[in-house]
Amino acid sequence: MLQTFLLGIDRFSMAVGHAFAWCIVILTLGTSYEVFVRYVLDDPTAWAFDMSYILYGALFLMSGAYALSRNAHVRGDVFYRLWPVRVQGTVELVLYFIFFFPGVTSLVIAGYGYAHDSFGYREVSVNSPVGVPIWQLKGLIPLAGAMLFIQGVAQVIRCILAIRDGEWPRKLHDVEELETVIAAEHEFQQKAAQKGEAA
């Protein structure tokens, strides 16, 4: 039941992260178009810069919870990876309450203020004469914070289970870093070689 709950949060974060990953395709097409019209036709657009930072900002904000669910945020794990699982879980649990939740709560509260004000006067970009609307990007700030908070709750529960059981609970897997795949293949080959020598 608890594992289903945790994987449900992971699935939600993954679905949002995958949906906003399409911003990369739109960014690529828009930037390519801008380069073509600017350097080939000598007719630059007035909206390309705004489009790029709005889409990149949306991608960055809305992929945070997905990155957290995959342990993809930057981590200095020089010592961490050598610790026993229970120590890892304890340190993570403490750090979530000291740094993560206060920071994310501040993001939600301050982000709501920014979004509310921006929506109220229909804020537009000052970087171009076109006046591209940016209030929708500001609206994503508290939403991204809320998603991070929800994923953080799942991570805290995982820490508690790791402290209790001495192993990390199963996570949702959809993609792996290449170095993780290579390391797993190497470990598999070593075990196969050891079994072959034992036989």
CB 27 within 8 A of CB 55: yes
Examine the pLDDT at 194 and tell me if it is beyond 70: yes
The stretch 7-33 carries a mean pLDDT of: 92
What domain range is 15 assigned to? 2-176
Would 14 be classed as within a structural domain? yes
* Helix, strand, coil abundance in the chain, percent, nearest 5: 75, 0, 25
pLDDT digits (tens, 9 = 90+) for 125-161: 887 777 888 889 899 999 999 999 999 999 999 999 9
Residue 152 lies in a domain: yes
Q: What residues contact residue 68 under an 8 Å CB cut-off, 6+ apart?
A: 13, 148, 151, 152, 155
pLDDT of 186 reads: 79
Q: Indicate whether this model's pTM tops 0.85.
A: no
The strand pairing partners of 133, in sequence order, are 124
Confidence of residue 94 (pLDDT cuts 50, 70, 90): very high
pLDDT tens per residue across span 5-16? 988 999 999 999
55 vs 21, 63, 73, 144, 174, CA distance in Å? 10, 12, 20, 14, 24
Residue where the block lists tokens 């994503």:
140
* Domain-embedded: residue 29: yes
73-82, 100-109, 110-119, 133-142: lowest mean pLDDT where? 73-82
Q: What angle do CA 110, 111, 117 make, to 5 degrees?
A: 95
Is there a domain that residue 195 lies in? no
How many domains does the structure of the chain reveal? 1
Q: State the average pLDDT over residues 85-111.
A: 95
Tell me, what amino acid is at 142?
A: P
The single-letter code of the amino acid at 130 is: V
- pLDDT > 90: what percent of the chain? 54
Residue 173 has pLDDT above 80, yes or no: no
Q: Is residue 145 part of a domain?
A: yes
113 found inside a domain: yes
Residue type at 116 in one-letter notation? H
Mean of the per-residue pLDDT values of the chain:
88
Is 187 inside any structural domain?
A: no
Q: Position of tokens 């192993």? A: 167
Q: What is the pLDDT of residue 177?
A: 64
Residue 199, in any domain of the structure = no
Say how far residue 138 (Cα) sits from the centre of its chain. 18
Helix (H) or strand (E) holding 120: helix 101-120
pLDDT of amino acid 171: 80
175 pLDDT band, cuts 50/70/90, is low
- Phi and psi at 167, nearest 5°, equal -150, 150
Mean pLDDT of 155-184: 82
pLDDT of 178 reads: 66
